[in-house]
Structure 1
Amino acid sequence: MDRKEAQQLVGQLLIVDLGVDGVYLGELVNVVTEPKKPWRGEVRIFSVLSLPDSIFRDDTIALHEVPYDEGDIDLFRSQQLKRRPQQIQIEPYLDSVLTDLKRRYIRLKNDVSAPSAELEALEVYIKTLTSQKRRTERTKGHNAGNDEAPFYNEYTFHFRDNHYVLVDSKGESLYLTPSHFEYVWHQQGKLVSGRYEGDGVFVRDNGVRYIPEENSVMLIDQKQFDPYYILRKELDPVALQGFEYNLQLHDVSHRDLIHCYNSLLEQLLNRENETSFQGVNFLTFQTDEHFVLVQHHFKRNLTFESGQPVYDRFEFTTDKGKRTISLYTNAFRF
């Protein structure tokens, strides 16, 4: 990107690609220009997209040698900075490290020639980091199973550039797409809820439709932006039942969730007017005795017409080497 484009991106997250030294997400703090020299970007590191290969050494992982930690600020050459594609999920630093470690673990687990020492090292480090995350969340009083009072994010409804969007107080847009998101609005003096059907129309569970006027206030419960909440909400009841059965089979429950990377949620929030989605979600469950990694492969066509294709494939892998595959489809071909 050129200097003028970079100056417009100050305050936004960019990709910092350092090649063999890793790939990171960071906030562009400032654009530094000097006469007759390429511009450079002052960036505050936010998270990791890809860890350096050099930290993986047979039976150990030198995480302390990752060159940048959360909050570190440094100057980078313009060639090292790129726009962030919207489909890249934004995660806290520790979660992003876990995501990359799990990707590597699953890739090696499926490679019969992979060194067992590195697999064992990955298991140890994933366990250690997830335990650290678990303790931190317990300290904060985090409880995934509690039923707290709704905390609503407020938006206004608009039709812009041939798209229906919700806009928050910061001016950020959320493009409306048929999905299992639940929206709340005021109607006849009370709060009612429903889903977005398409073409600017919302529908309640009782079938009553609502067409907001320009600038109407719409509310979304904050918990719906929780990756694991929306993952379960979006599953077909039979698929959810099978998923929960396999959790029990592996001696874990929803409360043991440590980390969830939800690719579908990221796509729903960032892709305009699309209804077909596919990708992979990553989940980690941990108890005091063991941990379980789950890959969730999905394909979706999120409209409310009957007979839409659904595909879910769950791959469970434990630190003891147990592997289970669960498949759900409604028999429509993709």
Structure 2
Amino acid sequence: MNRQQGKKYIGKQVKVKTRDHGQYVGVLHKIIAPPNTPWKGLVTIVGVFEYPPLEINGEEVEPLIHAYNQEIEFSGQQLEALIEPFKLSYEASIAHALKNRWTQIQDEIDQSDRTLSRIQQELRKLKSEHLIFEDVYVYYHIVKKGRKLFIYDEKKKESLSLDGCPFEFEIKTEGQWKAALYVKGLLFETTDNEEVELSHGSVIRLNKAQFDPYRILVNELESPSLLALERGLEKLGIGHEHSVYCHNSLLIQLLDTFKKQSLEGVNFLSYANNDTQFVVQHHYEREIKDDDSPDVTFDRFEFTSDKGERVLTTYATQFSND
């Protein structure tokens, strides 16, 4: 905006553009134009026109640099006429600006997904599709310490007890990676019922998607317990696909099973559909046996919707005290 235009907008709303900190709406109060220098305008901030590019500082979005009712000088080059009057409050303008930024980022994600899909198709033509999946796996070595077996991550220098591990592994057999479940000792069973015995130092891998707390919880549950969970979800008209959040305290304890034989606690799950929120408290008990006796299992699921609906389902082995 030049100086003559600026004079016509004194007392009116203008758009304020900054290089890296978004765009604002303000009221132009005064033209500041000393001789032989670029002019400036004294502006009071009243709204946010465009949210700046988002950078996450810790767990929070970095705050805006200009606050409501702040009076500040801007160069004439930063000021621009508004096409339509700005009628939003300062708080509402922030919400709308964030929503617009959300839409922009979502559009970018959609475009990226389409691009990735095309790349995947080209790799498939080249019979090299496997290359794009290499980074989604974590590789472990099987380590035997006394009578116990562990899987060891050389990169992180971390080990995990193999006994009772709820993950679905992939093992290499006949030159191919195959999905397999741990049975006992060094024995694994593939999904096509092939038994494969590995050895100390053998490499196995896990798909990182299995580190999702909800997926881990579902995989850990015995079939009757899983059925109890799904029965409650079905009564409320929802399913696993409606899962929003999972605090899996059982996972934290399971990762330490070589130290603890008895586990007890509560997991907190939340679900949502288009119009209802659901919370599930999963009370659990586990007693891990060293011999061939079955482990003791107790699971109780307490479902509550934000409309006041309540459902209770339970599963316990015959060995449980409950």
Normalised TM-score (structure 1):
0.50
Residues in 2 aligned to 1:260 and 1:244: alpha-carbon distance in whole angstroms: 15
Residues in 2 aligned to 1:326 and 1:170: alpha-carbon distance in whole angstroms: 39
Tell me the equivalent position of 1:175: 161
Residues in 1 aligned to 2:197 and 2:179: alpha-carbon distance in whole angstroms: 10
Contact map agreement 2:298 2:320 (CA 8 A) in 1: no
Equivalent AA in structure 2 for residue 259 of structure 1: Y
2:317 corresponds to 1:313: no
Q: How much does 1:209 deviate?
A: 4.8
Q: Residue 296 of structure 1: SS of its match in structure 2?
A: strand
Q: Residue 283 of structure 2: SS of its match in structure 1?
A: strand
Residues in 2 aligned to 1:180 and 1:253: alpha-carbon distance in whole angstroms: 21
Q: Higher relative contact order by CA 8 Å / sep ≥ 6: 1 or 2?
A: 1
Residues in 2 aligned to 1:208 and 1:270: alpha-carbon distance in whole angstroms: 27
Instruction: Calculate the aligned-residue CA RMSD, in Å.
Output: 3.4
Residues in 1 aligned to 2:288 and 2:316: alpha-carbon distance in whole angstroms: 15
2:216 corresponds to 1:230: yes
Contact map agreement 2:263 2:287 (CA 8 A) in 1: yes
Residues in 2 aligned to 1:170 and 1:179: alpha-carbon distance in whole angstroms: 18
Tell me the equivalent position of 1:188: 174
Which has the higher Rg, Structure 1 or Structure 2? 2
Match runs of 1:165-314 below 5 Å: 165-168=150-153, 169-199=155-185, 201-204=186-189, 206=193, 208-214=195-201, 216-272=202-258, 274-301=260-287, 305=292, 307-314=294-301
Residues in 2 aligned to 1:236 and 1:159: alpha-carbon distance in whole angstroms: 27
Equivalent AA in structure 2 for residue 243 of structure 1: L
Count matched residues. Answer: 197
Q: Residue 317 of structure 1: SS of its match in structure 2?
A: strand
Q: How much does 1:198 deviate?
A: 4.8
Match runs of 1:19-30 below 5 Å: none
Residues in 1 aligned to 2:260 and 2:177: alpha-carbon distance in whole angstroms: 28
Tell me the equivalent position of 1:17: none
What are the ranges of 5 or more consecutive residues in structure 2 without an aligned counterpart?
1-55, 61-98, 111-131
Residues in 1 aligned to 2:176 and 2:270: alpha-carbon distance in whole angstroms: 40
Residues in 2 aligned to 1:182 and 1:309: alpha-carbon distance in whole angstroms: 22
What are the ranges of 5 or more consecutive residues in structure 1 without an aligned counterpart?
1-69, 73-92, 95-131, 142-147
Residues in 2 aligned to 1:330 and 1:272: alpha-carbon distance in whole angstroms: 22
Q: Residue 181 of structure 1: SS of its match in structure 2?
A: coil
Match runs of 1:27-176 below 5 Å: 71=57, 139=106, 151-159=136-144, 164-168=149-153, 169-176=155-162
Structure 1 residues 204 and 295: alpha-carbon distance in aligned structure 2, compared to 1, 3 A threshold: same
Q: How much does 1:296 deviate?
A: 0.5
Contact map agreement 1:157 1:217 (CA 8 A) in 2: yes
Q: How much does 1:301 deviate?
A: 4.0
